[in-house]
Structure 1
């Protein structure tokens, strides 16, 4: 009489493989819920078989699918399961990849301190396995969070090391991403020419590789430089090009589309097209809500505040900034909270509510002293000068 537990293993393995193939098909078709269902069944089968490596890979995939479905709590739980399974399988590099993905969830919801902690653990795994390409990715991603936390010096150190590793292993896609991200640091410091040259280098790489999504992100950043220089016509063209690329059949990125709309709204508001700006912001908010990007939703609130303020609708502007303030506080996003409080102080002052204005300004200055380094010096200087200036207050960009 055959041993049923032994005989079940080949059947389970075959069934798990079929489920994973079906999940891949659903994923490619954008059917993430169906893909998730297949992957969950596969993980259960591989766990029953004692196939810890296969189950770990499946749980990792489940985490990513839940992230795409904006189930951030579920994504973290699945990544923690994947981490345990990969530890059991002795897959050190896999553990690093899972920790990196988990960090991405915390970046999405604005908890950059937790993201840095996870990325440090991820980098330790990659160092143990000499995974240089993965180390370049991890350092790049850590720099993103450090910049969001206002720690510009450490961010630049991580970017420079990432750049070195990515050149070493001929990771051209990663190289373009890091060049793009370093340009953001120079933009923050109002070194626009240096930022522009880095973006042009990134754009050339992405055009050569046919990377439509990356190209759209870089074009959007070029638009931000034009806008900062006061060239609204070129800025608007860049934002429209970025929006077109984000909506392309080969890209279809909700977050990129929403970000382009957010920045396009800035220009529309500056050009006096209040209705157009508000419509773009509503569309951006819907997209950010679907992906669960809390930082994006907060920036939409800020965008509405700036738009209403530019139109002289100060009561509505103040309400929007107050909503943004609540969201940013819950995320612990101190750099953006500083700019929002400063904008609120300006509006309160213009409304004759001087005591409340002084309180808001004092809070913003206290926040500024808590940052590791002055975050976005150019934006800080602009916000400070605007306290005594007339509207419009300038844009509050997402990236």
Structure 2
């Protein structure tokens, strides 16, 4: 997500402030304290997508934490380097750094940090096309996040695992994961992951032939995405909902959703999808629906 000019200016200001503080800290602070300052600097570089600046700060921090014998700091720096490499599409390099970080987090008994590393390794494995390995790492992270009672992370991983099951055509297992995630997300106050969960659950139900069960989830996804002004996902949810209504032979409801999705496709320049919807609507008109 791109930053606004004001957000970018705010981060640039924070970056300069951190540089100034770090310059003074180099004279008065311990290696571990300077390392922590460098971690903060690296994170600010990352927010600006300055991956080179971020990597430089993380590497320097790593050296200082090694000098100080600070394993927790080393784990943080290695995690940051792993994320930087992943952002640069060097997923093999990312996995190497993240695995080192996970081992250190395990040594210092930081389950949250270890879980985050394992989840990120899963993301890089998935990016490399190793979905079985990715799911295994997601499952490892899931166990740890359950132990730390982090429902936000647990629900995100359940969605990821369910999505992998969807790709594999195991829609029943996917539905189980999405239902578990939904229970957690409905207790929270984040509409975006909740909308995605309803959308994925509706799609899983539809692929299992449960079009009646799919409709309330897809309706909820449409409503949430409409409120979020996420038109691409709203279009996806409306198309799926239209198909669910069509399969149930609820022609008026299907037509209403096809009519609603058409301007969304046109607005997004999706000419092929728009043409397909026009053909469906023409077919309905010809049948007097």
Q: Tell me whether the two structures share a fold, i.e. TM-score over 0.5.
A: yes
Deviation at 1:210, TM superposition (A): 3.5
Matched residue, 1:133: 112
SS in 2 for 1:208: coil
Residue 208, structure 1, aligned to residue 187, structure 2? yes
Deviations 1:259-313 (A, max 9, x none): x444345567894856533534xxxxxxxxxxxxxxxxxxxxxxx6xx3444569
Matched residue, 2:249: none
Correspondent of 1:276 among 239, 264, 272 = 264
Matched residue, 2:36: 57
Equivalent positions of 1:298-377 (< 5 A) are 307-310=270-273
Deviation at 1:151, TM superposition (A): 1.0
Instruction: Please tell me whether the aligned partners of residues 91 and 128 of structure 2 are also in contact (alpha carbons under 8 angstroms).
Output: yes
Instruction: Please tell me whether the aligned partners of residues 192 and 224 of structure 2 are also in contact (alpha carbons under 8 angstroms).
Output: no
Matched residue, 2:221: 238
Aligned length: 249
Correspondent of 1:199 among 175, 178, 198 = 178
Deviation at 1:217, TM superposition (A): 4.6
Correspondent of 2:165 among 186, 204, 208 = 186
Instruction: Please tell me whether the aligned partners of residues 181 and 197 of structure 2 are also in contact (alpha carbons under 8 angstroms).
Output: yes
Q: 1:236 to 1:142 in 2, by over 3 A?
A: farther
Q: 1:197 to 1:98 in 2, by over 3 A?
A: same
Q: 1:274 to 1:103 in 2, by over 3 A?
A: farther
Matched residue, 2:282: none
Q: Distance in 2 between matches of 1:237 and 1:127?
A: 40
Q: Distance in 2 between matches of 1:149 and 1:243?
A: 33
Residue 92, structure 1, aligned to residue 75, structure 2? no
Q: 1:309 to 1:217 in 2, by over 3 A?
A: closer
Matched residue, 2:23: 44
Residue 75, structure 1, aligned to residue 63, structure 2? no
Q: Distance in 1 between matches of 2:45 and 2:205?
A: 37
The Cα RMSD (Å) is: 3.5
Deviations 1:183-224 (A, max 9, x none): 121111122232223122223223324345543553454465
